């Protein structure tokens, strides 16, 4: 799918500068930005949201590709979705302990103002 878009001059300059810094072309940077936006806004839900060892293995493989600079735009989209799933999974299995934070909060509230 192809689209033609007009970008504001300041955004064009920013993209050109970033492309020069990274050695990537502007089109690739736009693809990355759209990929990240879609991953954030659309997310991953449904039956496929269950975290598995296979998904973790794939996420690690994609992270290695990203570090090596060999990851494709579709793989970046996949990685973003897997990252969201991983974060949700890790939050569920290791939610932060609130008991000590609540005790500290109560203690701080009971102290007179200094």
Q: What is the pLDDT of residue 36?
A: 77
Structural domain of 13? 7-42
Same domain, 33 and 58: no
Nearest to 59 by CA among 28, 88, 38, 92: 88
In this predicted model, which residue has the larger pLDDT, 49 or 32? 32
Same domain, 34 and 52: no
Domain count within the chain:
2
**2 in any annotated domain:** no
Q: What is the pLDDT of residue 91?
A: 85
Same domain, 60 and 97: yes
End-to-end CA distance of the chain: 63
Q: What is the pLDDT of residue 50?
A: 86
**1 in any annotated domain:** no
Q: What is the pLDDT of residue 68?
A: 94
Same domain, 94 and 51: yes
Q: What is the pLDDT of residue 114?
A: 53
Same domain, 63 and 97: yes
pTM beyond 0.75: no
């Amino acid at each position: 799918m192809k689209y033609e878009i007009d970008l504001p001059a300041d955004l064009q300059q920013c993209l050109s500068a970033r492309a020069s810094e990274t050695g990537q072309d502007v089109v690739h940077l736009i693809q990355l930005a759209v990929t990240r936006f879609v991953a954030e806004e659309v997310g991953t839900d449904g039956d496929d949201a269950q975290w598995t060892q296979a998904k973790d293995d794939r996420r690690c493989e994609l992270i290695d590709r990203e570090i090596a600079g060999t990851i494709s735009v579709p793989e970046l989209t996949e990685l973003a979705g897997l990252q969201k799933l991983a974060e949700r999974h890790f939050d569920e299995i290791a939610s932060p302990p609130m008991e000590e934070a609540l005790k500290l909060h109560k203690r701080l509230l009971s102290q007179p103002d200094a």
